[in-house]
Amino acid sequence: MSNILLAGGAGYIGSHTAAALLDAGYDVVIADNFVNSSPKSVERVEQITGKQIVLYEADVRDADAMKRIFREQKIDAVIHFAGLKAVGESVQKPIMYYRKNLDTVLSLLDAMQETGVNNIIFSSSATVYGEKNPIPYLETMPRGACTNPYSWTKSMTEQILEDAAKADPELSVILLRYFNPIGAHPSGMIGEDPQGIPNNLMPYVTQVAVGKRECLTIFGNDYPTPDGTCRRDYIHVVDLARGHVKAIDYIMQHKGVAVFNLGTGIPYSVTEIVETFERVNGVKVNHVYGPRRAGDLPEFYANSDKAREVLGWQTEKTLDDMCRDSWNWQKQNPNGYRV
């Protein structure tokens, strides 16, 4: 069976993907510098699956360290999750974001080329569609103008990977454009563990529900949407993880570059998320309506027909599942992986 390197695999999406790959019979190697994660997530994945992971503490920007891993582990494909992802911080510290997020892919490609590893899957984002494309987003639409440096690093990394594949016919690339991942493994053993004040909606909701934060501010209720709050395509992280397994199956058989949206195609508003969370879990989420957050689009969601038709992937989990599993993780781990 093939050996898959997850760069940044100790993080939220990486740890769920590791579990899904191990369950599907793949071997998993993780390289992570734990800048936004903990080795505990890797131990937990081993407990959930009953299988071993080879773990390297390494910075993916260190091409020599990556070459050593490729040589020692005979890697068949890489999934590249490693990077910084806080949109607001990227506006404050653009140079750091460009440096860190672009150096990771450049070093990985150098190391892959030198050691003959030819398959790479990249964690991209719906944000590359920019502000102007009509919804639902389709893979055939052009990348648009991004609204912040984080999003530009996703768009630029896509371009770098496409150019690298053009120059090297042996290189295969899959760009996975995630929509809004939420939820957690149903065991409650792994989940999203943001450091400090959460930037994203669901971890904020769960921290209010568990009493760590007082009140959620809903950013804007005057958008041109049915209830005035922004609508997004929330996807259960376990469905997203299964999408990576399908992408790995595919990349082993196909050459070239392929792009897939991974979303449900169903938008939900911020108010619907809060109401569903309260109903499913029987808990209160104190909230107030505040001003709009700069850079937010009123609404976006995926057309994921291509992933269904080409990869044979589709989502299975409902919004109720997403809310239940997010709460199950938070309740069991009020301080995340910290004791």
Round to whole Å and give the CA distance between 330 and 189.
10
The region of 16-24, 56-64, 121-129, 185-193 touching ligand UFG under the rule CB under 6 A is: 121-129
- Tell me the HSE value of 126 on the side-chain side, using a 13 A CA sphere: 27
- 218: contact with ligand UFG by CB under 6 A: yes
Shortest Å, Cβ 132 to ligand NAD: 19
Round to whole Å and give the CA distance between 145 and 129.
8
- 10: contact with ligand NAD by CB under 6 A: yes
Residue among 150, 204, 268, 301 flagged as catalytic: 150
- 233: contact with ligand NAD by CB under 6 A: no
- Strand-pair category, 268-269 with 231-232: antiparallel
CA angle 331, 333, 335 (to 5 degrees): 115
Site residues for ligand UFG, 163-202, by CB under 6 A, read 178-180, 199-201
Shortest Å, Cβ 255 to ligand UFG: 27
Residues found in the chain: 339
Active site (annotated) includes residue 97: no
* Cβ contact 85:12 at 8 Å: no
The region of 64-72, 174-182, 217-225, 304-312 touching ligand NAD under the rule CB under 6 A is: 174-182
> Residue 212: exposed, middle, or buried by beta-carbon count in 10 A (0-12, 13-18, 19+)?
middle
- 37: contact with ligand NAD by CB under 6 A: yes
Nearest to 67 by CA among 34, 118, 114: 114
Helices (H), 126-219: 149-167, 201-209
Per partner kind, with CB cut-offs from 5 to 8 A, the member of ligand NAD, ligand UFG, none near residue 13 is ligand NAD
Shortest Å, Cβ 49 to ligand UFG: 27
Round to whole Å and give the CA distance between 333 and 233.
26
What is the binding site for ligand UFG (CB under 6 A)?
85, 87, 125-127, 151, 178-180, 199-201, 204, 216-219, 230, 232, 270, 293, 296
What is the binding site for ligand NAD (CB under 6 A)?
8, 10-14, 32-37, 59-61, 81-83, 85, 100, 104, 123, 125, 178, 180-181
